[in-house]
Every structure is written in C-alpha cells, then in structure tokens.
C-alpha cells in the first residue's frame, strides 16, 4: 500500500520555540494532506487541510498563525508549531490522500510533541 512518512517521530522542545513536522508521500502524489492532533486516550481531531500550491484550510478553533502549514510540493507538507506552549504537547498525525477513482487515505506514523 501507499506509504506516508512523518518526521520526526518524537520531539521535545522548550516553551517558546518552534517545531517543524514533515509529512511525505513516498510513492504517490498527494494534492491534499490532512493534519490531525490526538490527545491521550482521545480520538483524532482534524486541525487543517493542506492543499498543494494554496493556503491551508483550518478547522474552527485552530490558530492558523500558530500552526503554520506549507504544502509546497505534491509529496511534502509541513506543520510548524510556533512559539510552542506546554498545552501544545500532543500527538500530531498527518495523512495523505491518493488520487484517482479509488481514493484512500493513508496516515503517517505520528509525531509526539512534548513542550517543556
């Protein structure tokens, strides 16, 4: 099946710093990628939809200036958590959608962010 690579898998940072998370579709092109956040023992919550070559679409309540999304190519989307705070600590997961008549979503392995 299609492979989505997410990096890093784990990051610990100090409060106030910025962290960049990369999501790559390794064997297919993805015009649309999605970023989710998951708190412990909870479900995945959609943060934003990343569109190649255009601005991301953010869900209600998600600060676009805090969670910067860039989708500069058909195989790469990045999420940058700016001025991270401890409450931003969470598991961040990206997904990419294959194209064509039988579209499927595949997920990255996730990034565990811990802000001290």
Partner 1 sequence: GESVGLHLPTLSVQEGDNSIINCAYSNSASDYFIWYKQESGKGPQFIIDIRSNMDKRQGQRVTVLLNKTVKHLSLQIAATQPGDSAVYFCAENLLDTGRRALTFGSGTRLQVQP
Which residues are near partner 1 by CB under 8 A?
A: 1, 4, 6, 32, 34, 42-46, 49, 57, 91, 93, 95, 97, 103-110, 112
Report the alpha-carbon distance of residue 48 to residue 46 in Å, rounded.
Answer: 6
> At its nearest, how many Å lie between partner 1 and the CB of residue 109?
5
Instruction: Report the residue number, 79 or 110, with the smaller CB distance to partner 1.
Output: 110
Instruction: Report the residue number, 26 or 83, with the smaller CB distance to partner 1.
Output: 26
CA-wise closest residue to 40 among 107, 90, 115: 90
> At its nearest, how many Å lie between partner 1 and the CB of residue 83?
26
What are the angstrom distances between the C-alpha of 47 and each of 6, 26, 35, 57, 98? 16, 22, 6, 9, 20
Tokens of 86: 């401890």
Instruction: Report the residue number, 80 or 107, with the smaller CB distance to partner 1.
Output: 107
């Amino acid at each position: 099946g299609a492979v989505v690579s997410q990096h890093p898998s784990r990051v610990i940072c100090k409060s106030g710093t910025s962290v960049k998370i990369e999501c790559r579709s390794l064997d297919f092109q993805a015009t649309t990628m999605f970023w989710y956040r998951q708190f412990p023992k909870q479900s995945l919550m959609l943060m934003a939809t990343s569109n190649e070559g255009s601005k991301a679409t953010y869900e209600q309540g998600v600060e676009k200036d805090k969670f910067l999304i860039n989708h500069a190519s058909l195989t790469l989307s990045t999420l940058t958590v700016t001025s991270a705070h401890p409450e931003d600590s969470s598991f961040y997961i990206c997904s990419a959608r294959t194209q064509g008549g039988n579209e499927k979503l595949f997920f990255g392995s996730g990034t565990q962010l811990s802000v001290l």
